[in-house]
Each structure stands twice: as C-alpha cells, then as structure tokens.
Structure 1
Amino acid sequence: MRRTILWLAFVACIPCTHAQANPSAITLDQLFSICESRSVSESASRGDQLGWQRLSEAEFDEWRSAFVNYNGGSVEVIGWRRGEPERSDSLSFWVAEGPNGHKACYYSASDAAGLLEALSQRIGKPDSLDKNEVVISAHWKTGSSEVYYSQAGAGALVNISSPD
C-alpha cells in the first residue's frame, strides 16, 4: 500500500515538473494585462503567473545604468524569461521617473509566427506597416499608448509604452 501511494504521488508530479520546465507561451491577453499594469509590483504579480523564470536584478544592472544615463531619471524594472538563453522568449516591464517619465513593456518572441496578425486582430490595422526582405515593422497609436512591432527572421520584438 505504501509503495502504491508513493508511486501515485510520483506519477502525479510528472506533469507538474514538465509544466514548470516548459511553461506555456504568453497569450496576447496575458501580454497586455502585464503591460497595462500601473506599477512594477502589479506587473510582478501578473507576470509571475506565467510560470516563467524571473530575471535577477543583476541581469538588469547594465541596462538600468544605460537607461538612467539616457533618460535622466530613475527606473524600476522587472522581467521574465521562458526557455534557454540562446532561444528564449523574454518580457520586461518598467516604470521610468524623471523628465521622460513613462511605463513600458518589451516582449521578445523567439517564434513570431502569427504574432503580427494577432496584434492586428486585437488592436486594429497598424498606423504604419513596412515589409521588406529582411524586416517587418508596424506601429499602432491607441489612445495614449503606442505599440511597436519588429520582426527579423523567426524572432520578433513588441514594445508597448504609455506616458507615466
């Protein structure tokens, strides 16, 4: 009986381990929910629900230093990664204070298949769209927010920003 219970407990945990090792890709609903957060702490609670690995403060040191030098004010930032560093998806959210205060979200997707079309279905036709043999870029202005999309090869970047 004891062996049976241990075996069942082991088998029951196999899907849990797999799910944590390979968390799901982000949905547009999740992306916009995190990016529309009013603060880093709000985005943290939403982003942690992805099950992705949270990036350490040290991983942002160089970026933070460059950003503060450029922006002229302080910045709070949080981020997550899904997958291996050489082929991963990542998501960062920050709130900048100072002369160019704003909040922004930056999503890097290793597989952009269908992402531009999904963004267009969600927020409408891009205000600008440029396609050439190397890069696809699009821009939307929705109220006070702006969405930028850039794709090269299989990967894409999405930046969502709004005034503070």
Structure 2
Amino acid sequence: MARILLLGGSGYFCRQLLPELLKSLPREWEFVIADYEYRAARKMAKKLGERVTARMVDVSDPAAMERLLEGADAGVNFVGPWYRFGKFVREAFRRAGVSLIAVNPSSFRESHGNAGGPPFVGGVSFVPAVPLIFREVFGPEKGVSVSVRV
C-alpha cells in the first residue's frame, strides 16, 4: 500500500487529477488531501470515497509538515505560489526522504541537482502527466499500471 499526499489538494488542479489517480493507481493506495482550507479538503475527500482522507496543514510550519509526512510514500504539491511556499514544501520532503512532484511551471529550474535526496520532479504543468510520473517513480514492481485519458 502507498500513501500519497496532495498538498493544496482542494484546489482546481487536484480536483481534475485525483479522480484519474483513483482510477489509474492500485486500489490499496490511499490519498491524503492536505490543505490549509480544511473544510474544502474534507468535503472533497468525502465526495471521493474511503480511499481519500483530509488533513489541515500549513506548509510553512515545519513541525506540521513533519507530522504530515510520517508514513507518506510520495507527494504532489499544488500549493502556490511556488516562489513563496515552494521552499517550505521542498525542504520538508527532502528532510523526510519522501518523493515530491511539484505541479508548478516555475519549479522546473529546481528539479535538477537533487543529489542524494528523494526524487523531485518540478515544472509539471500538464496535470494528466502526474500518474505517468508515478509509474516512473514507483514502477511495475509496486503494481503501478497507468492509463490516463486526456
């Protein structure tokens, strides 16, 4: 089983992505919508079913991020703007050793030179590509077979 965090997950892009992830990734995977707007995250999680839960998080709070990242296998960041919040998100994931996909074009320049850290893919501005990235990060050995409709 994998636990995937979706930071800023109650926003527009994640609302487009999460139904595809639920269809494309193994049924035993669970998703956590982590958002400062907890009510919106909880409403979305309830609508999507038992594989999805909601957590409130302030990404600029290192202790809150540390608690959130416990037991996580990967994360997708939708929190923006990246220039303001990206450093908090990236550093928390790096400290926890958890892979991160940043859905924000301005994060691309930071996707290189991640020597020794967990996988980081930045600059993903085409949301349907995210399940394909999961396939590359986790591979068939984790039961990931992805089919995305565009």
Question: Which one has the largest radius of gyration?
Answer: 1
Q: TM-score range by the shorter chain?
A: under 0.3
Q: TM-score, normalised by structure 2?
A: 0.27
**Scaled by the length of structure 1, what TM-score is found?**
0.25
More helix by share: 2
Q: Which is bigger in relative contact order (C-alpha 8 A, separation at least 6)?
A: 2
Larger relative strand fraction? 1
